[in-house]
Chain A
Amino acid sequence: MVTPFPASDFYAELEAWTLDQIRAGQESISLMAEIRERSAGNWEIEKLTRAIIFDEVQIIEGLKGEAGRARAVCEESQRV
């Protein structure tokens, strides 16, 4: 009897988790943009929100690559 390669489940989970993280990052960016807008003229808040948005964008970039790799491995292992 052939059992499915467990790695595919693992990578499918990883991809789903990564997508959740990306969504969380986008929510955070949205929140920071809202705070930045409400505190227009307050340079400290503006600077802080800009820094957070910058970090979140970088994190999303990294996660995007990770999700893509997880999907590729998942598809590959399903083929096996």
Chain B
Amino acid sequence: MQGQSAKNLKEYEGEDQVVSSHEFALRLKENPDSIIRVKSLIPSLDVGIEDFRDGEVIGISGPPKTGKTLLAQTLTVNFAKQQYFSLWFTYEVPARQFLSQFPEMPLIYLPSKLKAHALPWFEERVQESFLKYHTRIIFIDHLHYLIDLARLRNPSIEIGQVIRRLKTLAVNGGFIIFLLCHTTKGARENNDLSYESIRDSSFVSQESDTVFMIKRTPDVGENTAKLRVEFHRRTGVLEKVIDLVKVNGLLQEQTPREERPVRRDWDSP
């Protein structure tokens, strides 16, 4: 690099120019640190992770039929209570069934027709929904519908690329993306379910800001489940377990029953 080129770079003032940390910090002060902060309204989860913020990709995983979609629907309803309305891509459950699963249907947005294995189409619908309805929260049920597995030579690496693209979309567009993903075969039998059980796990966990694992606990109760926050980058939470129970069609935190005092014989008058 010589002459004119070096001179041009020395005087370069583009939006991506290199600046000092002090100048950068001053610029950051001009802008709010996050566009959107939304709570889960699950108390222990909110204590652990504080809130969900724009630019975050959250993985939700667990064996089939253990409440991934239910957890996502619960969060959708809780976000709507805070007046943040979500955009849903419900590939796995037909839209009619998906909507009927809400005890009271909240205001959400979804494409009239879904197109699987089409990431550019997905990105376009996200932008459409943002411009029309200002939606910043996106649910994808589930990850493998965004990818044409049959055409992939190395699924794990290509899934990594897709998740990186979702992360870029979340950061650049100020979105929060919830990504539901399946676990590997045999994960249901595994009692120590962790993010390593996620199908094509390495990239899902590497690129996500947090991973939630959910598993039903039939030994505790018919409608109970365990939510495990595998990790949370921003707060540093690790392997936090929260007991959930399904009440009126949605999940809520299970509070330990207050222990009743045991009546003993010598208490009686």
Chain A positions near chain B (C-beta within 8 angstroms): 26-27, 29-31, 33-34, 37, 40-41, 50, 53-54, 57, 60
Identify which of residues 27-50 in chain B touch chain A, using a CB-to-CB cut-off of 8 Å: 32, 35-36
> Could you tell me if B36 and A37 are in contact, using CB atoms closer than 8 angstroms?
yes
Q: Tally of A-B residue pairs with Cβ under 8 A? A: 29
B154 CB within 8 Å of chain A: no
CB distance from B95 to the nearest CB of A (A): 16
> Could you tell me if A53 and B32 are in contact, using CB atoms closer than 8 angstroms?
no
Chain B: interface residue count, which band?
10 to 19
> Could you tell me if B134 and A33 are in contact, using CB atoms closer than 8 angstroms?
yes
Chain B positions near chain A (C-beta within 8 angstroms): 32, 35-36, 83-85, 107, 132-134
Q: Which residue of B lies closest to A26 (CB)?
A: B133
- CB neighbours (8 Å) of B36 from chain A are 37
> Could you tell me if A37 and B35 are in contact, using CB atoms closer than 8 angstroms?
yes
CA distance A1 to B5 in the complex (A): 87
Additional A-B contact list (17), CB under 8 Å, known A30-B134, A37-B36: A26-B133, A27-B132, A29-B107, A29-B133, A29-B134, A30-B133, A31-B134, A33-B83, A33-B84, A33-B85, A37-B35, A40-B32, A40-B35, A41-B32, A50-B83, A54-B83, A57-B107
Q: Which residue of A lies closest to B84 (CB)?
A: A33
- CB neighbours (8 Å) of A33 from chain B are 83-85, 134
> Could you tell me if A34 and B134 are in contact, using CB atoms closer than 8 angstroms?
yes
